[in-house]
Amino acid sequence: MTACPDRLDAIVARLASVLDSNAIIAGAAVGAGYCGDATDERGAPPAIVFRPRNTEGVAAILSACNDAGQALVIQGGRTGLSGGARPQPGEVSLSLERMTSIGAIDTAAGTVIADAGATLQAVQEKAADHELMFGVDIGARGTATIGGNIATNAGGIRVLRYGMYRAQVLGLEAVLADGTILSNLKGLPKDNSGYDLGQFFIGTEGTLGVVTRACLKLHPKPRSRANALCALPSLSAAISLLKNLRKQLGPLLSAFEVIFPEVYAGVIAHSGATPPVPSGAGMYALVEIQGQSETDDEARFAAALMVAYENGVVSDVAVSTSMREYAAIWALREGASEFIFSMSNMIGFDVGLPISGMQSFIDMASRDILIADPDAQFYIFGHLGDGNLHYLVRTDWHERVADAAFAAVARCGGAISAEHGIGLDKKRWLPWIRTPAELATMRRLKAALDPENILNPGRVFNMKATAAEYV
């Protein structure tokens, strides 16, 4: 499909008196950045990028596009990893990049109202200025936006302690395809007065409406923080460590990440960092605590790790003793994405699994992938505490490797996306793990809220079911 110039001219003419002069970029002025997200694939350059300044502007754009049957791709920071923000032929872009305000912090309630285009980092920094913290953190914090985070129900490194993005959203403002504004920013922790409409927009990847503002929950800033890098013999030892630390530390435990040996060695070689514990172990785990007692927390953490060392669960451990060491240990984990992005021919699977089935998944997936491509190389890391692995494969055979990986996910009772979403890139496999009844209900919701199918069409699923879904 190509954009129809007459239709676009009519939309622009209708919006001329509503939007300011910086709100529309068109033709050759549309930069290459608008053509994709953080995946390698580029989409069709959008003929127009709409950049409204406020919710009313978003409503006017959607109403005009809806009346004209003009499809839009919604774009936040474009750090997505599933192609959701990648424009398709004929789509115009709606970018939230100019809606970046963050309101005053309500310190009594521990909440803040932020515009959809504000970056995650800006919210984190504002909270920190008031001795508060935001519960979600991801590597793309400096560019990813609040709207994109909500649309993807972002996870990240502290889900174990604070939950997914959904758990941070106390109220939402969103615009439906026809321009209707739904605003509930009261931020009440308890509100069962009818349907919680905000839930429609969390994790639905921009298919049901455009998020414009959100009331976000903040937490007391931790006074004590420490992390440790543990070397362990195996994944099963890491799972035992997780179980033991949860029992001994309770809510003090704030992150539990695993790094498989190939990624650990790769990050060290790629970054030139000094390894906190030597390479050569069967598994590495990064564990973190966040608490309020500067005197007791670190001692409890050290004691719990000592028990794990004495029991042989952990073979080596480096505990941070300063903020510099703490940051260096986290830098190593964040280096995993950089190391992965430095390699060509990678395909990534962000899978959710029952922790008890994780080893079976790895065994099954690697066996079947090696049948599909005997030269495949595996790189694995992830958020073990949340049952979420980033399972990456270096291969020339992306389609057949994806089939093998997702078949293993389905057989192990897992999810084909734990946190990055389905977007355009994973929708072919969604029927493998969601029932026809579930998919039909998703389509009914989409048809009810976006009858002209103008918002991110073809993301997550196509409106028309294919025969393959019923196999």
Ligand X SMILES: Cc1cc2nc3c(=O)[nH]c(=O)nc-3n(C[C@H](O)[C@H](O)[C@H](O)COP(=O)(O)OP(=O)(O)OC[C@H]3O[C@@H](n4cnc5c(N)ncnc54)[C@H](O)[C@@H]3O)c2cc1C
Provide the binding-site residues for ligand X, judged by CB under 6 A.
Answer: 37-38, 74-81, 84-85, 96, 116, 138-140, 144-145, 147-149, 151-152, 154-156, 205-206, 210-211, 337, 419-420, 423, 456, 459
Closer to ligand X by Cβ: residue 138 or 409: 138
Least distance between ligand X and beta carbon 306 (Å): 30
Closer to ligand X by Cβ: residue 275 or 458: 458
Least distance between ligand X and beta carbon 466 (Å): 21
The rounded distance, in Å, linking the Cα atoms of 63 and 69 is: 10
* HEC assignment per residue over 245-302: HHHHHHHHEEEEEEECHHHHHHHHHHHCCCCCCCCCCCEEEEEEEEECCCCCHHHHHH
| Angstrom distances, CA of residue 20 to CA of 53, 60, 70 | 8, 12, 21
The rounded distance, in Å, linking the Cα atoms of 351 and 390 is: 6
The rounded distance, in Å, linking the Cα atoms of 155 and 203 is: 11
Least distance between ligand X and beta carbon 85 (Å): 4
The residue among 203, 73, 78 whose CA lies nearest residue 145 is 78
Least distance between ligand X and beta carbon 300 (Å): 27
> Six-digit token pair at 381?
């890391």
The rounded distance, in Å, linking the Cα atoms of 331 and 293 is: 25
Least distance between ligand X and beta carbon 354 (Å): 19
> Six-digit token pair at 260?
């498989």
Question: Which amino acid, 311?
Answer: N
The residue among 53, 66, 59, 56 whose CA lies nearest residue 99 is 53
The residue among 247, 231, 264 whose CA lies nearest residue 379 is 264
Closer to ligand X by Cβ: residue 205 or 288: 205
The rounded distance, in Å, linking the Cα atoms of 195 and 471 is: 35
Least distance between ligand X and beta carbon 459 (Å): 6
Closer to ligand X by Cβ: residue 97 or 297: 97
Closer to ligand X by Cβ: residue 301 or 429: 429
Least distance between ligand X and beta carbon 95 (Å): 8
Least distance between ligand X and beta carbon 460 (Å): 8
Tell me the residue number closest to ligand X, measured at CB: 148
Least distance between ligand X and beta carbon 284 (Å): 17
DSSP code per residue over 368-435 = HHHHH-TT-EEEEEEEGGGTEEEEEEE-S-HHHHHHHHHHHHHHTT-BSBSSS--TTTSGGGHHHHS-
For residue 44, give the 3-state DSSP assignment: coil
Q: Which residues share a beta bridge with 283?
A: 232
The residue among 338, 404, 343, 415 whose CA lies nearest residue 370 is 404
The CB density around residue 451, as the number of other CB atoms within 10 Å, is 11
Residue 269: phi and psi, rounded to 5, are -65, -40
Please answer whether residues 92 and 35 qualify as being in contact, where contact means their C-beta atoms are separated by less than 8 angstroms.
Answer: no
For residue 214, give the 3-state DSSP assignment: strand
Least distance between ligand X and beta carbon 412 (Å): 21
What is the sign, positive or negative, of the torsion defined by CA atoms of 60, 62, 63, 67? positive
Closer to ligand X by Cβ: residue 202 or 249: 202
Closer to ligand X by Cβ: residue 210 or 409: 210
Closer to ligand X by Cβ: residue 38 or 384: 38
The rounded distance, in Å, linking the Cα atoms of 276 and 71 is: 50
Closer to ligand X by Cβ: residue 138 or 380: 138
Length of the chain: 471
Please answer whether residues 52 and 23 qualify as being in contact, where contact means their C-beta atoms are separated by less than 8 angstroms.
Answer: yes
DSSP code per residue over 7-21 = HHHHHHHHHTTTS-T
Closer to ligand X by Cβ: residue 88 or 359: 88
Least distance between ligand X and beta carbon 387 (Å): 14
Closer to ligand X by Cβ: residue 211 or 389: 211
Least distance between ligand X and beta carbon 39 (Å): 9
Closer to ligand X by Cβ: residue 316 or 452: 452
